[in-house]
Amino acid sequence: MAVHGGSGISRGVIEQMRLELPECRYMELVHRLDRETSGVLLIALKRRALTGLHAAMRDGRIEKRYLTLVAGRWPNPVQHVKLPLHKRVTDDGEKRVTVRGEGQTAHTIFRRLQSFADFTLLEAELKTGRTHQIRVHTSHLGFPIAGDDKYGDFELNKRLVKQGLKRMFLHAAQLSFEHPITGERLLIEAPLPAELASFLDTLNNAP
């Protein structure tokens, strides 16, 4: 489900939330997730909270960590990737991002969590929040995300569907930040969805 309506989508998460919780007079998305990405999505219920969280994001005070499965054997336990990203919109209105020298600065810290025969489970910490940042950084380095239908390995994706992976393996696992009004330190976590966890099990149990 898209996070908000637009470009042919009549209703997204935020519109549905407003319908379900009419008593919340103010409700706005703090950030976005790609439609294919699961995990933590932050919504502000006060304008003061929204502006405070946006300021925290600009200042790099919100820690965002994702889990992703990439094709190939990722070589380094920890790797800082700083590749500038250029965004353009295609004629049919689709966002496309490429690594280009004149693009916006983009910084991802990848941590290798588990290696398999043909895949690697990574944690990706976003130091900047560019469109499709994790997807383009991994793909550009030769490690496309499993199931990614935009920047991935399309032949591999077809095989993965038959093996039970019917979506992109990218999950917003954790957000950590100070509450914009109370100052309390918050850690919000979303467990790996069942379909991703079960696919990892098949890799763990592979001969």
Answer yes or no: 92 catalytic: no
CA distance 165 to 29: 29
Domains of the chain: 63-204 (3.30.2350.10)
Instruction: At 53, list the tokens.
Output: 């969280």
Catalytic residue chosen out of the listed positions 34, 91, 92, 201: 34
CA distance 169 to 195: 9
CA distance 63 to 79: 17
Give the per-residue pLDDT at 11.
76
Residue type, 165: L
Largest separation between any pair of C-alpha atoms in the chain:
54
User: pTM here?
Assistant: 0.91
CA distance 169 to 149: 11
Digitized pLDDT (tens) for each residue of the chain, 207 residues in all: 778 766 556 678 889 889 999 999 999 999 989 889 999 999 999 999 999 999 999 999 999 999 999 999 999 999 999 999 999 988 877 889 999 999 999 999 999 999 999 999 999 999 998 999 999 999 999 999 999 999 999 999 999 999 999 999 999 999 999 999 999 999 999 999 999 999 999 998 876
CA distance 192 to 123: 12
